[in-house]
Structure 1
Amino acid sequence: MDLLGSILGSMEKPPSASEKERKIAKAFKEKKEMAERKSHKEREKYKLEVTSKVEKFMADQKATRLKLPPASKNNRSLAHEIAEAGGLIAHSFGTEEIDRYLMFFKKENPPSEEEFRALRNGEEYDPSKEKMASSSSSATVSIEPSSKAKDRHASTPSYGETPHYQEKYKHLLGGLDCTEKTAVKMEPNKAFGYVPSSNKKDLRSIEQTLNDMKSRKRPKMDTIETDDALEHTSTKRTKDSSEEL
């Protein structure tokens, strides 16, 4: 027997559950399975109900909103999936775990800001009020520009008058007619960057140019030859000394 087998053999076995504990565990398992089956049945039932309502809602061309009864969070998530599959807009309203419900909207008739705000606040939305408010706001908007335009026209200086900023900063500018007097006229420097053509020409002949190039290269070649000769001499001396030894 190996070491591991001897250790396992010397260990005590785990205590076995009593008959009472086994019955409790079995009852708990059966209760859990029953609750899961019940939840599954309720979910399928809710799915069928919502699906049938959505089909009727989409078939009715006059209907633009569909309000579902309050439901749990899991059922609402299922309703959201059904709405997404049907191409509808879904929003939840109400208080969680009290009266939270779901409302479907057709994409061609989405909720307005006023309607959405009213539903969020738990109020009944009245489209006639929104029309009255929009008509009154449009009327005020149509009246206001005319009065504002008159005031703006009266305050705007006519052509040829002195701008307001010149009157405001007259003490800094030195007068109202100081702009042309104090302006500095800039004239371009035509000679800037000019190089005479005589400076650009090389007056040497071709032979002279080649000779100059050779004369610049010759010192470099002489230096290289001198270094090679010294290296050869030192190598020869080292070889002769080694042969003598």
Structure 2
Amino acid sequence: MDLLGSIMNSMDKPPSLSENEKILLKKRKQELERRQNEEKEKLKRFKDRVESKLISHFQDQNNMNLKFDPMDKVCRSIVHELAESCGLLSFAFGIDGVDRYIRIYRKDHPPCEDELAARRRGEPWNEEIRHRLIEKRKLELEEEREASTNKKQKKFIPNSNYKDKYAHLIGQDAALKAAKKTETNKSYGFVPSENKKDVRSIEQTMADIKAKKQLKLNSTEPIESSTNLPP
């Protein structure tokens, strides 16, 4: 501690300000405070003016939106905040630092996606353009439906005739016969019950087979026993 104290005491103290420098520093501080107060007062007046404009404009039910002139980021944030507090929608368009502006809308009449896209591209927008886009979409939808219907109804047409493909191999007449559509014989493999000779039931058939087997066994038993007799 003694060493540290001796080092601190040996260091040169910062030069003290002269009276003129103190007065100049005080004036600069006062000027800064004055500018800050002026900026606050300016923003307050701007806020009051915008709020009054929003209320008076949207009191008329025929007014659906309101456009503001391009402004800086601080002023835009104030407009967005006031629009939200008044129950309105706010959107910013344009390039920041160049021509970015705000447009306010009623919540019950918000902008459509087409309008937002057009304004973001810097293109004009009005009711005539909106109706023109609606009619264009209707026409495109009808064309798609018509094209889909025609595609379903269109029959397949082969690129070549099937009978001509083999005409050079087996002749024109034979190829024509080979290309004819064949139909399956639906009666193939089926025998009507009235044409069957055996009209016995399954149970009766099984019983007859069993009886035949038993008869065959009985007929072979004497032969087998006779072979065991001495000569």
Q: Which whole-Å CA distance do the structure 2 matches of 1:147 and 1:110 have between them?
A: 35
1:138 is displaced (CA, Å) by: 0.5
Given the superposition, is the C-alpha separation of residues 125 and 5 from structure 1 closer, same or farther in structure 2, using an over 3 Å criterion? same
| Superposed counterparts of 1:28-43, under 5 Å | 28-43=28-43
SS at match of 2:154: helix
From the CA coordinates, give the structure whose radius of gyration is larger: 2
Q: Which whole-Å CA distance do the structure 2 matches of 1:143 and 1:100 have between them?
A: 39
1:14 is displaced (CA, Å) by: 1.6
Q: How many residue pairs align between the two structures? A: 158
Q: Which residue of 1 aligns with 2:55?
A: 55
Given the superposition, is the C-alpha separation of residues 144 and 11 from structure 1 closer, same or farther in structure 2, using an over 3 Å criterion? closer
Q: Which residue of 1 aligns with 2:65?
A: 65
Given the superposition, is the C-alpha separation of residues 3 and 134 from structure 1 closer, same or farther in structure 2, using an over 3 Å criterion? same
Deviations 1:117-165 (A, max 9, x none): 2222333212212212211320332243134213213348xxxxxxxxx
Given the superposition, is the C-alpha separation of residues 8 and 151 from structure 1 closer, same or farther in structure 2, using an over 3 Å criterion? closer
Q: Which whole-Å CA distance do the structure 2 matches of 1:75 and 1:7 have between them?
A: 54
For the pair 1:126 / 2:136, whether they are aligned, the reply is: no
| Superposed counterparts of 1:161-240, under 5 Å | none
Range that drifts further, 13-22 or 66-75: 13-22
Deviations 1:12-44 (A, max 9, x none): 322112334323322221221111011011100
1:62 is displaced (CA, Å) by: 1.4
Q: Which residue of 1 aligns with 2:105?
A: 105
Q: Which residue of 1 aligns with 2:27?
A: 27
1:114 is displaced (CA, Å) by: 2.2
1:77 is displaced (CA, Å) by: 0.7
Q: Which whole-Å CA distance do the structure 1 matches of 2:143 and 2:2 have between them?
A: 102
Q: Which amino acid aligns with 2:12?
A: E
1:3 is displaced (CA, Å) by: 6.0
Given the superposition, is the C-alpha separation of residues 155 and 42 from structure 1 closer, same or farther in structure 2, using an over 3 Å criterion? farther
Consecutive unaligned residues of structure 2, counting only runs of 5 or more, are 157-183, 185-231
Q: Which whole-Å CA distance do the structure 2 matches of 1:92 and 1:151 have between them?
A: 46
Q: Which whole-Å CA distance do the structure 1 matches of 2:71 and 2:39 have between them?
A: 13
Q: Which residue of 1 aligns with 2:12?
A: 12
TM (normalized to structure 1)? 0.56
1:6 is displaced (CA, Å) by: 4.9
SS at match of 2:24: helix
Q: Which amino acid aligns with 2:111?
A: P
Q: Which whole-Å CA distance do the structure 2 matches of 1:8 and 1:133 have between them?
A: 81
SS at match of 1:138: helix
Deviations 1:202-243 (A, max 9, x none): xxxxxxxxxxxxxxxxxxxxxxxxxxxxxxxxxxxxxxxxxx
SS at match of 1:16: coil
1:7 is displaced (CA, Å) by: 4.7
Q: What RMSD in Å do the two structures reach over aligned CA positions?
A: 2.6
Q: Which residue of 2 aligns with 1:153?
A: 153
SS at match of 1:104: strand
Sequence identity percentage: 33
Deviations 1:96-131 (A, max 9, x none): 233322111112211122211222233321221221
Consecutive unaligned residues of structure 1, counting only runs of 5 or more, are 157-176, 178-245
Q: Which whole-Å CA distance do the structure 2 matches of 1:30 and 1:88 have between them?
A: 40
Given the superposition, is the C-alpha separation of residues 45 and 109 from structure 1 closer, same or farther in structure 2, using an over 3 Å criterion? same
